[in-house]
Protein backbone atom coordinates (compact mmCIF):
# COMPACT_ATOMS: atom_id res chain seq x y z
CA UNK A 1 0.00 0.00 0.00
CA UNK A 2 1.31 3.42 -0.93
CA UNK A 3 0.88 6.60 1.03
CA UNK A 4 1.61 10.29 0.59
CA UNK A 5 2.76 12.89 3.07
CA UNK A 6 -0.79 14.11 3.52
CA UNK A 7 -1.64 10.77 5.15
CA UNK A 8 0.82 11.45 7.98
CA UNK A 9 1.31 14.03 10.65
CA UNK A 10 4.57 15.97 10.47
CA UNK A 11 7.64 13.74 10.31
CA UNK A 12 9.10 15.85 13.10
CA UNK A 13 8.38 19.19 14.76
CA UNK A 14 11.02 21.73 15.74
CA UNK A 15 9.91 24.05 18.55
CA UNK A 16 11.65 27.19 19.78
CA UNK A 17 11.32 27.79 23.52
CA UNK A 18 11.42 31.28 24.99
CA UNK A 19 9.82 34.54 23.93
CA UNK A 20 7.08 34.88 21.34
CA UNK A 21 9.46 36.45 18.83
CA UNK A 22 12.88 35.47 17.46
CA UNK A 23 15.13 37.04 14.87
CA UNK A 24 14.48 36.10 11.25
CA UNK A 25 18.23 35.47 10.95
CA UNK A 26 17.98 32.97 13.80
CA UNK A 27 15.08 31.20 12.12
CA UNK A 28 16.70 30.94 8.70
CA UNK A 29 20.19 30.00 9.89
CA UNK A 30 19.12 27.46 12.52
CA UNK A 31 16.66 25.73 10.19
CA UNK A 32 18.78 25.73 7.03
CA UNK A 33 21.83 24.26 8.79
CA UNK A 34 19.75 21.69 10.70
CA UNK A 35 18.12 20.58 7.45
CA UNK A 36 21.53 20.34 5.74
CA UNK A 37 22.84 18.19 8.62
CA UNK A 38 19.82 15.89 8.49
CA UNK A 39 20.06 15.55 4.70
CA UNK A 40 23.75 14.67 4.96
CA UNK A 41 22.98 11.97 7.55
CA UNK A 42 20.05 10.63 5.52
CA UNK A 43 22.31 10.18 2.49
CA UNK A 44 24.59 8.02 4.62
CA UNK A 45 21.72 5.56 4.99
CA UNK A 46 20.02 6.08 1.63
CA UNK A 47 22.17 7.97 -0.93
CA UNK A 48 19.39 8.87 -3.34
CA UNK A 49 17.25 11.94 -3.95
CA UNK A 50 13.83 10.32 -4.21
CA UNK A 51 12.67 11.78 -0.91
CA UNK A 52 13.07 15.15 0.75
CA UNK A 53 11.92 17.18 3.74
CA UNK A 54 9.75 20.25 3.39
CA UNK A 55 8.68 22.80 5.98
CA UNK A 56 4.96 23.12 6.64
CA UNK A 57 2.92 26.09 7.87
CA UNK A 58 3.71 27.56 11.27
CA UNK A 59 1.10 27.42 13.99
CA UNK A 60 -0.21 30.66 15.48
CA UNK A 61 -0.34 29.21 18.98
CA UNK A 62 3.36 28.36 19.31
CA UNK A 63 6.71 28.68 17.55
CA UNK A 64 6.80 25.20 16.03
CA UNK A 65 8.25 24.40 12.61
CA UNK A 66 6.74 21.19 11.15
CA UNK A 67 8.74 19.06 8.70
CA UNK A 68 7.00 16.78 6.22
CA UNK A 69 8.38 14.04 4.00
CA UNK A 70 7.65 14.37 0.30
CA UNK A 71 8.69 12.64 -2.90
CA UNK A 72 11.14 14.64 -4.96
CA UNK A 73 10.06 15.75 -8.42
CA UNK A 74 12.83 13.65 -9.98
CA UNK A 75 11.76 10.44 -8.23
CA UNK A 76 11.02 7.31 -10.20
CA UNK A 77 7.26 7.00 -10.45
CA UNK A 78 7.56 3.23 -10.15
CA UNK A 79 9.38 3.44 -6.81
CA UNK A 80 7.36 2.78 -3.64
CA UNK A 81 6.33 5.88 -1.73
CA UNK A 82 6.86 5.98 2.02
CA UNK A 83 6.78 2.26 2.65
CA UNK A 84 7.96 0.90 5.97
CA UNK A 85 11.55 0.34 4.86
CA UNK A 86 12.28 3.84 3.62
CA UNK A 87 10.40 5.40 6.53
CA UNK A 88 12.70 3.43 8.84
CA UNK A 89 15.64 5.03 7.03
CA UNK A 90 14.37 8.47 7.89
CA UNK A 91 13.71 7.48 11.50
CA UNK A 92 17.27 6.11 11.72
CA UNK A 93 18.52 9.39 10.25
CA UNK A 94 16.56 11.36 12.82
CA UNK A 95 17.93 9.19 15.62
CA UNK A 96 21.46 9.78 14.29
CA UNK A 97 20.83 13.55 14.20
CA UNK A 98 19.66 13.43 17.83
CA UNK A 99 22.74 11.38 18.73
CA UNK A 100 25.15 13.81 17.05
CA UNK A 101 23.53 16.78 18.78
CA UNK A 102 23.70 14.93 22.11
CA UNK A 103 27.41 14.25 21.52
CA UNK A 104 27.96 17.93 20.75
CA UNK A 105 26.21 19.09 23.93
CA UNK A 106 28.03 16.53 26.09
CA UNK A 107 31.54 16.88 24.65
CA UNK A 108 31.30 20.69 24.71
CA UNK A 109 34.13 21.09 22.21
CA UNK A 110 36.52 18.68 23.99
CA UNK A 111 37.70 15.25 22.93
CA UNK A 112 37.03 12.34 25.30
CA UNK A 113 39.94 11.02 27.34
CA UNK A 114 39.57 7.56 25.80
CA UNK A 115 37.23 5.39 23.78
CA UNK A 116 36.29 1.80 24.59
CA UNK A 117 34.46 -0.32 22.01
CA UNK A 118 31.64 -2.52 23.28
CA UNK A 119 30.26 -5.79 21.94
CA UNK A 120 26.90 -4.27 20.94
CA UNK A 121 28.31 -1.96 18.23
CA UNK A 122 28.55 0.99 20.60
CA UNK A 123 31.47 2.90 22.08
CA UNK A 124 31.94 4.28 25.59
CA UNK A 125 33.42 7.77 25.62
CA UNK A 126 35.19 8.58 28.89
CA UNK A 127 35.04 12.30 29.67
CA UNK A 128 37.07 14.51 32.00
CA UNK A 129 34.36 14.70 34.68
CA UNK A 130 34.27 10.88 35.05
CA UNK A 131 31.16 10.80 32.90
CA UNK A 132 30.75 7.97 30.38
CA UNK A 133 28.82 8.62 27.20
CA UNK A 134 27.72 5.52 25.28
CA UNK A 135 27.13 6.14 21.56
CA UNK A 136 26.46 3.92 18.53
CA UNK A 137 29.66 3.24 16.60
CA UNK A 138 28.15 4.39 13.31
CA UNK A 139 27.03 7.69 14.80
CA UNK A 140 30.50 8.32 16.23
CA UNK A 141 32.07 7.55 12.84
CA UNK A 142 29.87 10.27 11.31
CA UNK A 143 30.73 12.69 14.11
CA UNK A 144 34.46 12.08 13.76
CA UNK A 145 34.69 11.68 10.01
CA UNK A 146 32.20 14.10 8.48
CA UNK A 147 33.05 17.70 9.39
CA UNK A 148 30.49 19.01 6.91
CA UNK A 149 27.56 17.47 8.81
CA UNK A 150 28.88 18.44 12.24
CA UNK A 151 29.75 21.89 10.91
CA UNK A 152 26.10 22.45 9.98
CA UNK A 153 25.05 21.35 13.48
CA UNK A 154 27.52 23.81 15.01
CA UNK A 155 26.31 26.68 12.82
CA UNK A 156 22.68 25.90 13.59
CA UNK A 157 23.33 26.21 17.31
CA UNK A 158 25.59 29.24 16.83
CA UNK A 159 22.55 31.02 15.40
CA UNK A 160 20.47 30.00 18.43
CA UNK A 161 23.20 31.08 20.84
CA UNK A 162 23.27 34.59 19.38
CA UNK A 163 19.54 35.11 19.97
CA UNK A 164 18.74 35.84 23.62
CA UNK A 165 15.05 35.25 22.97
CA UNK A 166 15.70 31.51 22.56
CA UNK A 167 15.95 29.60 25.84
CA UNK A 168 15.98 26.15 24.24
CA UNK A 169 14.56 23.96 21.50
CA UNK A 170 12.60 20.72 21.29
CA UNK A 171 12.50 18.33 18.36
CA UNK A 172 9.76 15.70 18.41
CA UNK A 173 9.57 12.89 15.86
CA UNK A 174 6.31 11.35 14.76
CA UNK A 175 7.56 8.00 16.09
CA UNK A 176 7.96 9.38 19.61
CA UNK A 177 11.64 10.39 19.50
CA UNK A 178 12.19 13.56 21.52
CA UNK A 179 15.24 15.81 21.89
CA UNK A 180 15.29 18.73 24.33
CA UNK A 181 18.20 21.18 24.23
CA UNK A 182 18.33 23.81 26.97
CA UNK A 183 20.22 27.11 26.99
CA UNK A 184 23.45 25.72 28.49
CA UNK A 185 23.38 22.86 26.01
CA UNK A 186 22.93 25.29 23.12
CA UNK A 187 26.22 26.95 24.10
CA UNK A 188 27.93 23.56 24.21
CA UNK A 189 26.54 22.47 20.84
CA UNK A 190 27.78 25.72 19.29
CA UNK A 191 31.38 24.69 20.04
CA UNK A 192 33.38 23.37 17.05
CA UNK A 193 33.64 19.62 16.68
CA UNK A 194 36.82 18.66 18.59
CA UNK A 195 37.58 15.91 16.09
CA UNK A 196 37.65 18.49 13.29
CA UNK A 197 40.86 19.92 14.78
CA UNK A 198 42.91 17.93 12.31
CA UNK A 199 46.64 17.75 11.91
CA UNK A 200 48.36 19.77 9.23
CA UNK A 201 48.08 18.30 5.76
CA UNK A 202 51.19 18.43 3.61
CA UNK A 203 51.36 17.94 -0.15
CA UNK A 204 54.50 18.10 -2.28
CA UNK A 205 54.67 19.23 -5.91
CA UNK A 206 57.81 17.94 -7.57
CA UNK A 207 60.01 19.87 -10.02
CA UNK A 208 57.79 22.92 -10.35
CA UNK A 209 58.99 26.38 -11.41
CA UNK A 210 59.01 29.35 -9.04
CA UNK A 211 60.29 32.84 -9.82
CA UNK A 212 62.34 34.86 -7.36
CA UNK A 213 60.59 38.02 -6.22
CA UNK A 214 62.82 38.84 -3.25
CA UNK A 215 65.80 36.90 -1.98
CA UNK A 216 67.10 36.89 1.59
CA UNK A 217 70.82 36.15 1.72
CA UNK A 218 71.24 36.58 5.48
CA UNK A 219 70.40 33.35 7.30
CA UNK A 220 69.16 33.61 10.88
CA UNK A 221 69.60 30.20 12.51
CA UNK A 222 66.70 30.94 14.88
CA UNK A 223 64.16 31.63 12.15
CA UNK A 224 63.08 30.00 8.88
CA UNK A 225 65.08 31.08 5.84
CA UNK A 226 62.28 32.56 3.75
CA UNK A 227 62.30 33.95 0.22
CA UNK A 228 59.47 35.56 -1.73
CA UNK A 229 58.43 33.92 -5.00
CA UNK A 230 55.81 33.96 -7.72
CA UNK A 231 54.18 30.53 -8.12
CA UNK A 232 51.32 29.86 -10.52
CA UNK A 233 50.79 33.60 -10.84
CA UNK A 234 50.53 34.16 -7.07
CA UNK A 235 52.96 35.73 -4.63
CA UNK A 236 54.05 33.27 -1.94
CA UNK A 237 56.60 33.18 0.85
CA UNK A 238 58.45 29.89 1.24
CA UNK A 239 60.98 28.63 3.77
CA UNK A 240 63.98 27.00 2.09
CA UNK A 241 65.32 23.91 3.87
CA UNK A 242 67.62 22.54 1.13
CA UNK A 243 71.10 22.60 2.73
CA UNK A 244 72.86 22.10 -0.61
CA UNK A 245 71.14 25.22 -1.95
CA UNK A 246 72.18 27.11 1.20
CA UNK A 247 75.81 26.16 0.55
CA UNK A 248 75.51 27.27 -3.09
CA UNK A 249 74.14 30.67 -2.02
CA UNK A 250 76.93 31.11 0.52
CA UNK A 251 79.44 30.41 -2.27
CA UNK A 252 78.05 33.28 -4.33
CA UNK A 253 75.43 31.77 -6.60
CA UNK A 254 73.79 34.69 -8.45
CA UNK A 255 70.09 35.53 -8.62
CA UNK A 256 67.97 38.28 -10.08
CA UNK A 257 64.37 39.34 -9.74
CA UNK A 258 62.56 36.98 -12.02
CA UNK A 259 65.15 34.19 -11.82
CA UNK A 260 63.47 30.84 -12.26
CA UNK A 261 64.17 27.95 -9.88
CA UNK A 262 63.00 24.39 -10.35
CA UNK A 263 62.04 23.11 -6.91
CA UNK A 264 60.14 20.51 -4.90
CA UNK A 265 57.51 22.65 -3.20
CA UNK A 266 55.70 21.52 -0.05
CA UNK A 267 52.31 23.12 0.69
CA UNK A 268 51.22 23.07 4.34
CA UNK A 269 47.47 23.34 5.04
CA UNK A 270 45.46 23.20 8.25
CA UNK A 271 41.82 22.24 8.65
CA UNK A 272 39.61 25.18 9.60
CA UNK A 273 36.33 24.02 11.18
CA UNK A 274 34.71 27.41 10.61
CA UNK A 275 35.15 27.27 6.84
CA UNK A 276 34.95 23.45 6.68
CA UNK A 277 38.03 23.14 4.51
CA UNK A 278 41.82 23.16 4.58
CA UNK A 279 43.44 26.61 4.44
CA UNK A 280 47.02 27.13 3.24
CA UNK A 281 49.30 28.05 6.13
CA UNK A 282 52.65 28.14 4.38
CA UNK A 283 55.11 26.77 1.83
CA UNK A 284 58.47 25.05 2.12
CA UNK A 285 61.04 24.41 -0.59
CA UNK A 286 62.64 21.10 0.27
CA UNK A 287 64.87 20.81 -2.81
CA UNK A 288 66.25 23.18 -5.42
CA UNK A 289 67.42 21.60 -8.69
CA UNK A 290 70.38 22.70 -10.77
CA UNK A 291 69.82 24.53 -14.03
CA UNK A 292 67.84 27.60 -12.97
CA UNK A 293 67.26 30.19 -15.66
CA UNK A 294 68.26 33.67 -14.42
CA UNK A 295 65.90 36.47 -15.45
CA UNK A 296 68.44 38.48 -17.38
CA UNK A 297 65.81 40.16 -19.55
CA UNK A 298 65.06 43.64 -18.05
CA UNK A 299 61.38 43.34 -19.03
CA UNK A 300 61.09 40.06 -17.13
CA UNK A 301 62.71 41.63 -14.09
CA UNK A 302 60.27 44.54 -14.16
CA UNK A 303 57.39 42.10 -13.78
CA UNK A 304 58.58 41.35 -10.26
CA UNK A 305 59.01 44.89 -8.97
CA UNK A 306 57.23 45.43 -5.66
- Give the number of domains in the chain: 2
Q: What is the 3-state secondary structure (H, E, C) of the chain?
A: CCCCHHHCCCCEEEEEEECCCCCHHHHHHHHHHHHHHHHHHHHHHCCCCCEEEEECCCCCCCCEEEEEEEECCCCCCCCCCCCHHHHHHHHHHHHHHHHHHHHHHHHCCCCCCEEEECCCCEEEEECCCCCEEEEEHHHHHHHHHCHHHHHHHHHHHHHHHHCCCEEEEEEEECCCCEEEEEHHHHHHHCCCCHHHCCCCEEEEEEEEEEEEEECCCCCCCCCCCEEEEEECCEEEEEEECCHHHHHHHHCCCCCCCCCEEEEEEEEEEEEECCCCEEEEEEEEEEEECCCCECCCCHHHHHCCCC
One digit per residue, the tens of pLDDT, for the chain of length 306 reads 233 334 446 789 999 998 778 888 999 999 999 999 998 998 887 776 566 778 877 766 668 899 988 766 544 544 545 566 667 888 899 999 999 999 999 999 999 999 999 989 999 999 988 899 999 999 999 998 888 899 999 999 999 999 999 999 999 998 899 999 999 999 999 998 888 766 677 888 999 999 999 988 888 878 889 999 999 999 999 999 999 998 888 888 877 788 899 999 999 988 776 676 778 999 999 999 876 544 444 444 444 444
Which of 196, 221, 238 is where one domain is finished? 196
How would you class 46 by CB atoms within 10 Å of its CB: exposed for 0-12, middle for 13-18, buried for 19 or more?
middle
- Is there a single domain that holds both residue 71 and residue 131? yes
Residue ending a domain, among 135, 168, 196, is: 196
**52 plus 29 within the same structural domain:** yes
Strands 51-55 and 178-182: unpaired
d(CA 219, CA 240) in angstroms, rounded, equals 10
- Same domain for 213 and 190: no
Verify that 103 and 168 share a domain, yes or no.
yes
Which of 181, 196, 211 marks a domain boundary? 196
Looking at the fold, whether 119 and 207 belong to one and the same domain comes out as no
- pTM value is 0.63
Residues 176 and 217 in one domain: no
Same domain assignment for residues 192 and 207: no
Q: Which domain holds residue 243?
A: 201-302
Together in a domain, 41 and 170: yes
Alpha carbon distance 269, 86 (integer Å): 40
Q: Hey, how many other C-beta atoms are within 10 angstroms of the C-beta on 167?
A: 14
State whether 34 and 173 are in the same domain. Answer: yes
One domain, residues 188 and 215: no
Exposed e or buried b per residue across 208-234, where buried means at least 16 C-beta atoms within 10 angstroms of its C-beta: eebbbbeeeeeeeeeeebbbbbbbeee
162 and 116 together in one domain: yes
Choose among 148, 147, 152, 120: nearest CA to 136.
120
User: Residue 229 sits in a domain of what CATH number?
Assistant: 2.40.50
Q: Are residues 167 and 40 in the same domain?
A: yes
Amino acid sequence: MQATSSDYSAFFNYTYNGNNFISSDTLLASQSHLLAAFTGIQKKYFPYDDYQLKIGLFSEENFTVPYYLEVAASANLLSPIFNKDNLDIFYKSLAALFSLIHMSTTLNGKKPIREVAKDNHTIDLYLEDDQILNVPSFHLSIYKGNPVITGHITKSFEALQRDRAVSGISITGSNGQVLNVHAADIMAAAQPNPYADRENRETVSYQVPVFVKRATFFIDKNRPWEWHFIHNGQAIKAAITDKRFEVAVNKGRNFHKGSRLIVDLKKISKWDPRYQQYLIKGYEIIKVYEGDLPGQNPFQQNLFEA
